[in-house]
Structure 1
């Protein structure tokens, strides 16, 4: 199903390039619809290049960017080239404070900030305003950019800004659900997970697991990535899922000592 490689156009905390680079054999190849309710950078979607897909996320800025590239990537790229030409510290904060009205200008702003902010982190304040400071990277246009191919791969894709449960409930027999939620556990044990708890609570984890259990009963093929924590493993195993521990490296930290190997789990339904 996969054709030539295309890299995700976003830097995203928790992105799944490590999964496709090291454990692609875990992904099913035989399915009739790909569904991803926590989209992020879409690494697995772009790797599998499915014929039909439903992609969703609650981050409206993220979803607007995907829709803009799907419908008019040329205009997004034109604005992105302007950001490249004008990029500076003063310009960065000027763009960060703007709220563009047009879809393509919002998408170009989102991409610009993602590529030039500190560590590619997406974070907003209580008012929902992006507040990450400028980073050290200067390249707004990347050698790996292929927005025309991105647009082609998104053509037969329904892109939604919905709650994950509503998306999971759309899945039917022989669909493939790839689920990569924010990593929260029943007892938080690091700063990143504590930050995620504000966005995705343990109650959300339970609701997610129950929705996935219903989908499995409908014959849906499922893979979930999550934190390797006793509370998470117990939750999924109690609902009849199998869990496999995987090591992966995380480079997203402000301090070198924070960049290290972490254990995650791959939760699978039987397929």
Structure 2
């Protein structure tokens, strides 16, 4: 299977995770379900035949729909953006309103590739406000919009709360959940931004939804902040907890780990390292 990288750069993206720990995912499952889509690194890595993909970010989901349904028009518009690209054009495009999924997709991809460090951030009014970055290239040599469209062709894309999406999982389905990382008492260093996206109450709600899905027979692979308050949500509930990071191997031992390590939550103890 050809390795397909996502077309977006996303904060906290899991491209490194699937490349390093692909054996944590079952090889046989029914529907793949991802309630926090982001760049879709795991989805594009697994290339499932059936998928339910969702996020609360409407512009993000519209971007995926645009690539799925009209990738050639998206590419055409990106080519125009490349020709017009400048500091003034960046800020004019950032401020412009989109009128359809193609516009949404082209604008979103253009801003993602030319903004500062690929960051996605909005102001209190929900408006994207990241300044222009140093990259002036709208296209990348690994771009494969036709293949991205093909892989997305059988995926259901929804703007949805994560719990609604997880509740659709049945026996034999695979859920991959990678929420924004927040911890109890806001001690994780991302307090101001992440707490607005995903509160501690959301963390509790997520843990309960995943346990219910596990009880229905779904496979669970979830990543989260490696913090004791998060671990307590899943301990003693029949789930396996591991830790990993970009810079170290995966481990079941949480001691002597660095603060940037991540928690991995699995529904089964039968995994390969």
| TM, length-normalised to structure 2 | 0.92
CA RMSD of aligned residues (A): 1.3
What is residue 64 of structure 1 aligned with on the other side?
62
1:239 Cα deviation from its structure 2 partner: 3.0
Tell me the SS of whatever aligns to 1:61: helix
Q: Counterpart of 1:8?
A: 6
**Map of 2:255 onto structure 1:** none
**Does the 8 Å CA contact 1:76/1:104 hold for their aligned counterparts?**
yes
Please name the residue that 1:129 is paired with.
127
Q: Which residues of 2 match residues 66-215 of structure 1 at below 5 A?
A: 66-215=64-213
CA distance in 2, matches of 1:134, 1:16: 24
Gaps in structure 2 of 5+ consecutive residues: 248-257
SS state at 2:243 partner: strand
Give the Cα separation in 1 of the matches to 2:80 and 2:209.
Answer: 44
The residue that corresponds to 1:245 in the other structure is: 243
Provide the secondary structure at the position in 1 that maps to 2:220.
strand
Give the C-alpha shift of residue 74 in structure 1: 0.5
Query: 1:172: how far off?
Result: 0.2
Residue 22 of structure 1 and its aligned partner are, at CA, apart by 1.1
Q: Contact 1:56 / 1:161 at 8 angstroms: preserved in 2?
A: yes
3-state SS of the aligned residue for 1:225? strand
Within 2, Cα distance between the matches of 1:11 and 1:18?
Answer: 12
Aligned to 1:27: 25
Gaps of 5+ in 1: 250-259
Please give the alpha-carbon distance, in whole angstroms, between the structure 1 residues aligned to 2:232 and 2:194.
20
Equivalents in 2 of 1:191, 1:122: separation in Å? Answer: 17
**Partner Cα separation in structure 1 for residue 160 and residue 99 of structure 2:** 21
